[in-house]
Amino acid sequence: MSDWLKLLLLGLLSIVFGVFVLGAPVVASIAITATVGILLLISGGLQVVGGFSVEGTGNKILSILMGAIMLFLGWSFIAHPLQGTISLAMLVLILFLAGGIARVFLSFQMRGTAYFWPTLISGVLSILLAGYLWSNATAELAASFLGLLLGIEMLFNGFGLVFTSLFFRSADKGNAAA
């Protein structure tokens, strides 16, 4: 399977899941918090167990300490889902910002093609979403707004991936003709 087709399928999946998330943003926020909590518990437990086999006292202590922190965070997300959702809202803000900046830079590599503007707009909208979340990050809004923002970001990411895949496909066709 070619790279552009993989990107296209990934983009379409992101669009489909974005629509599902937008249909139930509160459920999505809680599910995200619970999933992250469970993953932190699992990885923290594995980190603690693995820490006992690490060479060197300093490395052993650091590894076990990191595992304990991950265990605490996982337990905290599960025991206090609202606070976990607010914490994850801040993390998503950072991811929106980073993804938006990356798409803006990518768009300038597509200058002169039909994919420049859609990719640029996708990146700018992600950056604007990050700014909006930063200015409205309260406990009341986080319960539903995190899911809503995540769904919108998934749509933007999906469209960005679709446009990127089409750009790669057209570049492959251009290289094959030359």
pLDDT digits (tens, 9 = 90+) for 71-116: 999 999 999 987 888 788 778 788 889 999 999 999 999 998 999 9
Give the lowest-confidence range in 58-72, 117-131, 140-154: 140-154
Mean pLDDT of the chain: 88
Q: In degrees rounded to 5, what are phi and psi of residue 53?
A: -100, 0
User: CB–CB of 156/122 below 8 Å?
Assistant: yes
pTM of the predicted model over 0.95: no
Element (H, E) at 141: helix 139-177
Q: Using CA atoms, how far apart are residues 157 and 96, in angstroms rounded to an integer?
A: 10
Nearest CA among 84, 86, 78 for reference residue 142: 86
